[in-house]
Amino acid sequence: MRLLPLLAVAHAARTVKWEVKATASKPAPASFDAWFANAKNPVERAIVAANDAISEVSDLGGGNYEGRISGATFPLVKLQPVMEFSLTRQNPRSISISLDKQRMETTGPRWACRIVEAMASIMDTTSTSVFTVENNELVCEASVTASFDVPRWVPVPLKSIQNGGQSAIQKQVEGDVGTMVSNLLKNDPSAPAEEASPAP
């Protein structure tokens, strides 16, 4: 009778879990502070759109937004990641954004799409970022957790996956947070308009 649970453990998947935190800040003029604090302005939509990877933002209502990630191509399949975010204005100068749902839309041969969709579904990701304007600065504090199961037949040491992935995700999140802060500051109503490129 004891063999069954032992066999189950032996064949169980190994879990990799990455947890990273990152903070970025930049000076924020009074004009940006006023724009950010005014709930009538599209601040929440601008926060979602501040991620360079997001090519399209839709307002779902009730503080919820959908962001479509720039598409990629897998052999035979075109990928379109779609994420839903909820934003909460904690006070006039602090807004929290959380990833609620994510799905993968695919185009291509059905059998190939099923394989790619199955691969995408094994990753469980949660993220929360808090944007705050204080002391003449825009600050973003981000926290990301990602986990997935690695089958025991995969011939890669779990420690290598854990450490290599942790380092890569930390670097990516730090870069993304810094870029989002820079992009959001471009919504400053007093910021000079970018000059148009001269015609060839």
**What does the pLDDT look like over 62-87, one tens digit per residue?**
999 999 887 666 667 787 788 899 99
Of residues 91 and 191, more confidently modeled: 91
**CB–CB of 71/78 below 8 Å?**
yes
Residues 35-60: tens digit of each pLDDT: 999 999 999 999 999 998 888 899 99
Report helix, strand or coil for 119: helix
Give the rounded percent of residues in the chain with a pLDDT score beyond 70. 75
Q: Report the alpha-carbon distance of residue 68 to residue 135 in Å, rounded.
A: 33
pTM, to two decimals? 0.74
Quick one: pLDDT at residue 72? Answer: 62
CB-CB neighbours of 6 under 10 Å: 9
**Other beta carbons within 10 Å of 148:** 18
> At residue 5, does pLDDT exceed 50?
no
Displacement of CA 58 from its chain's centroid (Å): 16
Instruction: Report, in this order, helix, strand and coil percent for the chain, each rounded to 5.
Output: 30, 40, 25
Q: How far is CA 162 from the centre of its chain?
A: 20
